[in-house]
């Protein structure tokens, strides 16, 4: 009798649970349908390309050539068009300077960033950390990591065959950031540091794979998968490492001798700057805020410079006349010296123009997202309500023929002082724009100059015609099949 009652109770419990799941599922569906109705109405005045009944535009966006597909849509729909990932996630995709200005000149909610007063407080605290006096000694750090990579390339070049540069550039960029953030590079990493190093690389790859996979978009489902569990484990490793380093550095700062050692180092690392940052009231960042800022700097700084440097070297291989001219300028600046000084960076005029033109054609972050915190009215009178989602398609903006004549042509003179003077400030935004632009953009530009100058001084770069890169939109602009180049070592001081 007791077993029968227990069986009935379990059966009723199962029915209740099933009913509750159905009700919750129904409420979730109602919420999604209401959200879709809101987004559809918001973008009602913006015509766009036809959508798939289930995937929206996601299927086309996942295919090879999706970046250039958006460029073709930009010709058909000037200013902006709706972009749907599935049936319930819709963005207004913009690629026109005035539209970008209307949205990005006044903030809003960004993905992976803080909101409102907290963001503003952190920005004020961190800005002095990227002052040129602080950045000045990093030139040596950039050169140290780059020369280690170039020594590896000397060995690879002896095999007389092309190789993928993307992975090596990524390793060098992460090594540089470890030195600039924590004061230690790959050669001086402990076991714990090495785990962190691997976790950062893992997280970058896992985030990119998650964006590609439709079934991983739901947080609950994602956490149940092996992929999701691996992501959470890597997050834990990264957070534990940063927390431990913060604790150790704080303890060291309480010791006067250690404090003196830190002050006498040839450069302050990013963590030193964060620990010393205070607002007008003397309030410091909490440990949680410190970890968030360090993680942001590591993840955003590593991938973007990897992409920027790799595609620049591809452009140099593709346009040997510009490669030759950059090399001549570099050799002229260096003379008989082996290493660059801070003052040299300002003299790299042609190299800087070539870097900017490669960032125009191959922006490291081709697409960024924002949620409007207030309604916006665009220059043509069309409006969007608060809560609307915006996709700024930087790749399409940088190839917008209404803004850039002959946009597919590699022309560094677009960035000569006279040509820059008359250009819309939101026409070229490789580091985003407005109040939330990349705080580390000066750091990134300096790193790109030092790294690319050293690369061009040591090697001549040529294409592998059998392995042209296939552009792939992930978190960053990368290549589906790597970036394979032929490298020929050059003699010391060669202006070849």
> Which residues contact residue 432 at a Cβ distance below 8 angstroms, ignoring those fewer than 6 apart?
104, 365, 368, 392, 394, 438
> Which residues contact residue 297 at a Cβ distance below 8 angstroms, ignoring those fewer than 6 apart?
177, 181, 270, 440
> Which residues contact residue 472 at a Cβ distance below 8 angstroms, ignoring those fewer than 6 apart?
64, 478, 479, 480
User: In Å, what is the CA distance from 299 to each residue of 78, 115, 181, 243, 475?
Assistant: 34, 19, 12, 16, 11
Closest listed residue to residue 356, CA positions, set 298, 409, 428, 434: 428
> Which residues contact residue 267 at a Cβ distance below 8 angstroms, ignoring those fewer than 6 apart?
134, 137, 138, 140, 141, 180
477 vs 340: CA distance, rounded Å: 29
With H, G, I as helix, E, B as strand and everything else as coil, classify residue 318: helix
With H, G, I as helix, E, B as strand and everything else as coil, classify residue 471: strand
Binding-site residue ranges for heme? 438
CB-based contact 21:220 (threshold 8 Å): no
CB-based contact 425:419 (threshold 8 Å): no
Report the b/e string of 462-473 with b at 16+ CB within 10 A. bbbeebebebbb
Find tokens 């794979």 and name the residue. Answer: 209
Binding-site residue ranges? 438
Report the b/e string of 349-367 with b at 16+ CB within 10 A. ebbbbbbbbbbbbbbbbbb
For the record, the structure tokens of 434 come out as 């407005």
With H, G, I as helix, E, B as strand and everything else as coil, classify residue 462: strand
Rounded to 10°, the helix 287-318/320-334 angle is 120
């Amino acid at each position: 009798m007791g077993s029968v009652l227990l069986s009935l109770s379990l059966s009723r419990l199962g029915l209740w649970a099933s009913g509750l799941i159905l009700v919750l599922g129904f409420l979730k569906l109602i919420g999604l349908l209401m959200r879709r109705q809101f987004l559809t109405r918001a973008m009602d005045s913006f015509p766009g390309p036809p959508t798939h009944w289930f995937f929206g535009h996601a299927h086309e966006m996942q295919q090879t050539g999706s970046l250039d597909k958006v460029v073709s849509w930009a010709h058909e729909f000037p200013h902006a068009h709706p972009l749907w990932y599935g049936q319930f996630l819709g963005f207004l995709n913009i690629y026109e300077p005035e539209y970008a200005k209307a949205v990005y000149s006044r903030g809003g909610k960004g993905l992976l960033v803080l909101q409102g007063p907290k963001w503003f407080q952190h920005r004020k605290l961190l800005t002095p950390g990227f002052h040129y006096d602080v950045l000045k000694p990093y030139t040596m750090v950039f050169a140290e990591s780059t020369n280690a990579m170039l020594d590896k390339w000397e060995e690879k070049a002896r095999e007389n065959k092309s190789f993928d540069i993307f992975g090596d550039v990524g390793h060098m960029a992460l090594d540089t950031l470890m030195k600039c953030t924590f004061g230690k590079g790959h050669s001086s990493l402990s076991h714990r540091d090495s785990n962190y190093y691997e976790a950062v690389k893992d997280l970058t790859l896992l985030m990119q794979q998650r964006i590609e996979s439709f079934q991983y978009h739901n947080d609950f489902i994602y956490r149940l998968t092996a992929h999701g569990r691996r992501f959470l484990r890597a997050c834990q490793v990264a957070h534990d490492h940063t927390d431990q380093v913060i604790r150790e550095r704080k303890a060291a700062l309480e010791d006067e001798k250690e404090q003196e050692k830190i002050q006498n180092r040839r450069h302050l690392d990013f963590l030193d700057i964060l620990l010393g940052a205070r607002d007008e009231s003397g309030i410091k960042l909490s440990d949680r805020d410190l970890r968030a800022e360090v993680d942001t700097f590591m993840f955003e700084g590593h991938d973007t410079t990897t992409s920027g440097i790799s595609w620049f070297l591809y452009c140099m291989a593709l346009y040997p006349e510009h490669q030759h001219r950059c090399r001549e300028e570099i050799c002229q600046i260096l003379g008989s010296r082996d290493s660059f000084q801070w003052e040299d960076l300002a003299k790299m005029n042609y190299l800087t123009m070539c870097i900017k033109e490669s960032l125009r054609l191959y922006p490291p972050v081709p697409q960024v997202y924002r949620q409007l915190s207030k309604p916006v009215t665009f220059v043509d009178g069309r409006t969007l309500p608060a809560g609307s989602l915006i996709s700024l398609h930087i790749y399409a903006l940088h190839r917008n023929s209404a803004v850039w004549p002959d946009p597919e042509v590699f022309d560094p003179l677009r960035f000569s002082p006279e040509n820059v003077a008359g250009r819309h400030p939101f026409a070229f935004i490789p580091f985003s724009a407005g109040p939330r632009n990349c705080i580390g953009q000066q750091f990134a530009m300096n790193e790109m100059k030092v790294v690319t100058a050293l690369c061009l001084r040591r090697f001549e770069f040529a294409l592998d015609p059998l392995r042209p890169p296939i552009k792939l939109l992930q978190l960053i602009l990368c290549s589906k099949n790597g970036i394979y180049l032929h490298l020929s070592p050059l003699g010391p001081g060669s202006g070849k």
